[in-house]
Chains A and B, each alone.
Chain A
Amino acid sequence: MVALTLANIKMMARNRQAIFWALFFPLMLVVVFGLFEVNGVGSADVGVIDQSEGPNSELLLELLNEIEFLELESDAMNVSEALDKVAAGDLGYLIVIPASFDDPAISSKVNLVYSTRNPDRNQLVDGAVRNLVSEIQSNGGPVVPSELLMADVIEVPEVDYFDNVLLGLLALGIMMNSIISIAVRISTFRNQSILKRLLVTPLPIWKFFAAEITAHVLLALVQAGIILALGVFVFGGHVHGNILWVFAITALGSVVFLNIGFILSAWAKSPAAASGMGNAVAMPMMFLGGAFFSTAALPWVLPEVAQALPLTPMVAALREVAIDSEPIWETWPYLAAMGAWVVVTAAGAIKVFKFG
């Protein structure tokens, strides 16, 4: 089996054209996302806790609402919950209007909380909120704006949209390469009767699959290394967590997609058909797997469909370990989902696979 694995690696390395194009697509996307200003300001979601509920605080809320760039969320929440959300990145900004805001006798400060995730946007929001508070408070006399607002900044690791996208692209690249590469390769082997040739030797069938999977997983790890290196060293992305966990999740995800490739290869009558089928399966996942944008806002049943796809837990697990620096065991629900996919796709591949 070692000999077969090594031969597989040798064959894949010599098929330079296939290697190049397999890597080209995800790398091109890394370049595109790296060159474009994907970290632009966009809109800012702002949670508001109004402890005053007087005319002044209502006026402040009204004025904040008029700023299109701010999306106010005034759902009831307590301060500590809201602070956690800001720290976790689930909420961009938090404004706490103190109970004393409407008491002219007390000089009270509005509390604006944000993280270091997006410095450009922070400046804008900070400035806008500061001006509004100043406008309201200065009705009673000249007040120095800086005294009106107490800005709390939560230090978080430097993470931006590009880091998220980079991990999405990593998963995407592994998915596409694994599915298409194995589907085309096995379909070619079948067309050339290579599978039949192996069957007349005493090589146990499981060793054939094991050698294919091992060689392709190693290839996937190399691809992952190249994608991450380009993203981090050329385009300034970040991987905060343990890189080993990133590779471990990459390997597991690769197995799922290799199994899918084996299934497709059983149905495809030619390598060209296998390539087309691979693309047809990979494309929907590319958009629904959460690689580029959150799927929660999709219409109809698509968010549920997206959750059920194998790319989704892979992307989520990669982000948890790489961005949130979680240890890999903290991502167990995602790993369990991927493990279930491994079992289901392996069973499917064993059922439909044909040698002749």
Chain B
Amino acid sequence: MISCAIMEPAVQVENLVKRFGTFTAVDGVTFAVERGEVFGILGPNGAGKTTTLEIIESLQKPTEGRVSVLGLDVQSKASEVKARIGVQLQASAYYDYLNLTEILALLGSFYPNKTAPAILLEQVGLSDKAVNRVAELSGGQKQRFAVAASLVNNPELVVLDEPTTGLDPQARRNLWGLIKEVNQRGVTVVLTTHSMDEAELLCSRLAIMDHGKLLAVDTPRNLVNKLEASYAVKLTMDQPMTMAQLEALNGRVEVLQSGEQDDPGAEDGESSSAENTYLLRLANSPSALKSMLDEIAKIGLGLENLQITPVTLEDVFLELTGTELRD
């Protein structure tokens, strides 16, 4: 971690608005990324994540508001900003007819301060592909190469747009390791993702965006802890419960989802005990669980199975946006 007492934030976004005609892609967003962080912007497709990044990269002009990167205004000092940051775009964006070494050398030639292609390829574990072309790489290798390309100018900040989208689980883990390594060398990382586990695992802080608005900025743990209900409880009963019985379990319990519906073939609405499963959210207090169990005993129903899990970012997202986040 670099000491950043006297340094400006890596990124400072103030009241950022971006409109395309009548459509508002980014709607009054304010946040700051400190140096040395891995900062994630989480949100579904169309949330305004990429537009926000493109303004940080000075690919687009803000309609309103101000964005500075490494203390430099992205509009008036675009060229200086570009020289000091590394960018990985969402789509793979490299020449077909050049090999990896040649692409890195070419990109490096655009910067005053550059790293040799061989060193970059070694950092991302692609030394044996130095004379291959991008088309010959696997999906995970392509993304690792994209990270290498974003490091060509020894950047102080790298901006990665959905670095792991479309990768298999192993390749994703591999890339997370790489991003952590880059960060450990002192490079600030800003990334967008619509993957909860990625956000939780990689990011020191998260901004949650939806419909162009910033809904929350905090560490993943704090975001979860702020939720009123911070445990998810899955009950499997020996017989169906009525809505009144469920609501009676605890005043603060929220019914998220009732168990599977009856098998259409079953007669008289009877269902097997395995199907009487209910998912509830429970407040984060020791007494809440006890009172729920007491209530079940009082009703006289048999409890076949009980699972308690901490709520996840998924729940945070649901709480903040009212919709589920889909990959």
Contacts and interface: CB of A to CB of B under 8 A. Distances in A.
A128 B58 CA distance: 79
Interface string A186-200: 001000111011111
Contacts of B107: 201
Interface in B253-300: none
A194 B97 CA distance: 13
Interface in A170-224: 188, 192-194, 196-204
A31 interface: no
Interface stretch (A2-10, A103-111, A255-263, A321-329): A2-10
A3 B106 contact: yes
B324 to A, nearest CB: 29
A298 B78 CA distance: 54
A202 B106 contact: no
Nearest to A15: B97
B98 to A, nearest CB: 6
Interface in A48-93: none
Nearest to A2: B109
A10 B79 CA distance: 27
A297 interface: no
A3 B102 CA distance: 10
Contacts of A351: none
B110 A197 contact: no
A18 to B, nearest CB: 10
B57 interface: yes
A192 B97 CA distance: 13
Given A192-B93, A193-B89, A194-B93, A202 B98 contact: no
Given A11-B98, A196-B59, A3 B109 contact: yes
Given A10-B97, A200-B58, 15 more contacts: A4-B109, A10-B102, A15-B97, A192-B91, A192-B92, A193-B89, A193-B93, A194-B93, A194-B95, A196-B59, A196-B89, A197-B87, A197-B93, A200-B82, A202-B83
Nearest to B153: A201
A217 B278 CA distance: 72
Nearest to B109: A3
Nearest to B103: A7
Contacts of B102: 7, 10
Interface size class of B (residues with CB under 8 A): 20 to 34
Given A192-B91, A192-B92, A200-B87, A11 B105 contact: no
Interface in B69-95: 79-80, 82-83, 87, 89-95
Interface in A6-22: 7, 10-12, 14-15
29 contacts: A3-B105, A3-B106, A7-B95, A7-B98, A7-B102, A10-B98, A11-B97, A11-B98, A15-B96, A15-B97, A188-B96, A192-B91, A192-B93, A192-B94, A193-B90, A193-B92, A196-B59, A196-B89, A196-B93, A197-B87, A197-B94, A199-B59, A200-B58, A200-B82, A200-B87, A201-B82, A201-B107, A201-B110, A203-B110
Interface of A: 3-4, 7, 10-12, 14-15, 188, 192-194, 196-204, 356
A226 B82 CA distance: 42
A354 to B, nearest CB: 12
A115 to B, nearest CB: 51
A15 B105 CA distance: 20
Nearest to A195: B93
Given A192-B92, A193-B89, A202 B97 contact: no
Contacts of A7: 95, 98, 102, 106
A201 B111 contact: yes
Given A199-B59, A201-B82, A4 B97 contact: no
Contacts of B90: 193
B9 to A, nearest CB: 20
A193 B18 CA distance: 21
A4 B90 CA distance: 23
Complex A-B, nearest 5 residue pairs according to Cβ-Cβ distance, in ascending order? A197-B93, A3-B109, A193-B93, A11-B97, A200-B87
A245 B56 CA distance: 49
B82 A4 contact: no
Contacts of B106: 3-4, 7
Contacts of B92: 192-193
Choose among B90, B107, B109, B110 the residue with the greatest number of A CB atoms under 10 Å from its CB. Answer: B110
A183 B206 CA distance: 42
B31 to A, nearest CB: 21
A57 to B, nearest CB: 72
Nearest to B159: A200
B93 A202 contact: no
A108 B107 CA distance: 83
B59 A200 contact: yes
Contacts of A10: 97-98, 102
